Amino acid sequence: MAKGSAFGKTILIGDQFVLEEVPAIVSAIPFETVAEVERIDGGGWTLEDNRIEVPGYKAKKKEQQVISIDRILEVMGIDVTKTPIKITYGGTLLAGSGVGASAASCVSLARALNEEFNLGYSIEEINRVGWEGEFAYHGIPSGVDNTASTYGGLLLYQIKGGEKRFERITAKKPLQIVLGNSGITADTAALDDYLAVEKARDPELYSSRLNTITAQAHHLRNELEAGNLENVGAIMTENHRVLVDMGLSHEKLDYLCHMALEKGALGAKVTGGGRGGYMVALTPGKDTWDAIASAMEKEGYKVIRTTIGEN
């Protein structure tokens, strides 16, 4: 039997537009999906999914999950008719839209299979397999989620001329964040179609908004490296307004963002593809951190408290 693990993530900016060469600032979060692989008798593969979840998430993603696992096995050259396996998922990452749950499942499985079958994959090859597995969930995946899941840390990720690249960001101060889940499971693959319609409807406005987000991303990086958390929060909130105007939020996400700001958050926005899943709030310290998280939990929302940007 072999195990593999992979991080969840949150994206501070650039979430939906990486394929259009808009930079994204993404961070792994210290919650993981763990995959176990063991050889069994019989044929094919079986799955036991013990991940904690936003209610209904695993059932909604089941068909995509099967396609993803089949693709990973094919890419890695593992013939389960000859060497049948059981896959078991667990770990501390809450399975829900917006925190890289699908990427973490793909990368953790790639690592477990690599160990069980002694394939000798490099970390770059593990990341590529994670990206391949993401096709089932995202249509054409940008690679940002699986990269954060594989490498960890705080990253600036961008596609330029078709080439995927990332740089590590050294934040001067750690960021205490609250991730609040709307309870809505978003269809990430359907977002591509929605954005294509928006682009065709008003190409000039669409392009202008992408230019705004690109400028915000570079500004955000500078403020992270300078340790100006108030400015980081302000940019996050400004970016959320752009996403709302583009139809990429949800009334529950807007409600949670407003709640966080009222409780003293420095900034709050949609994270992930949007139209469901999570929002992220940046807090100035532990008291506000706890106040925001407790207020959301009191109303029944699933919450992740965590710190990112630590060396």
Range list of β-strands (E), 79-153: 85-91
Picking from 168, 183, 206, the residue at the C-terminal end of a domain is 168
Predicted local confidence at residue 187, as pLDDT = 66
Q: Specify the CATH number for the domain of residue 270.
A: 3.30.70.890
Residue span of the structural domain in which 184 resides: 175-308
For all residues of the chain together, what is the average pLDDT? 93
Please check whether residue 98 is in contact with residue 148, taking contact to mean a CB–CB distance below 8 angstroms. no
Q: Specify the CATH number for the domain of residue 158.
A: 3.30.230.10
Q: How many domains does the chain have?
A: 2
Specify whether 28 is located in the same domain as 134.
yes
Predicted local confidence at residue 112, as pLDDT = 98
Specify whether 211 is located in the same domain as 250.
yes
pTM: 0.89
Picking from 126, 150, 168, the residue at the C-terminal end of a domain is 168
pLDDT tens for each residue of 247-298: 888 999 999 999 999 999 999 999 877 777 889 999 999 899 999 999 999 9
pLDDT tens for each residue of 157-187: 999 988 999 999 999 999 999 999 888 776 6
Specify whether 117 is located in the same domain as 186.
no
Picking from 118, 139, 168, the residue at the C-terminal end of a domain is 168
Specify whether 145 is located in the same domain as 246.
no
Specify whether 189 is located in the same domain as 140.
no
Specify whether 57 is located in the same domain as 32.
yes
Specify whether 159 is located in the same domain as 203.
no
pLDDT tens for each residue of 205-244: 999 999 999 999 999 999 999 999 999 999 999 999 999 9
Specify whether 115 is located in the same domain as 202.
no
Specify whether 49 is located in the same domain as 133.
yes
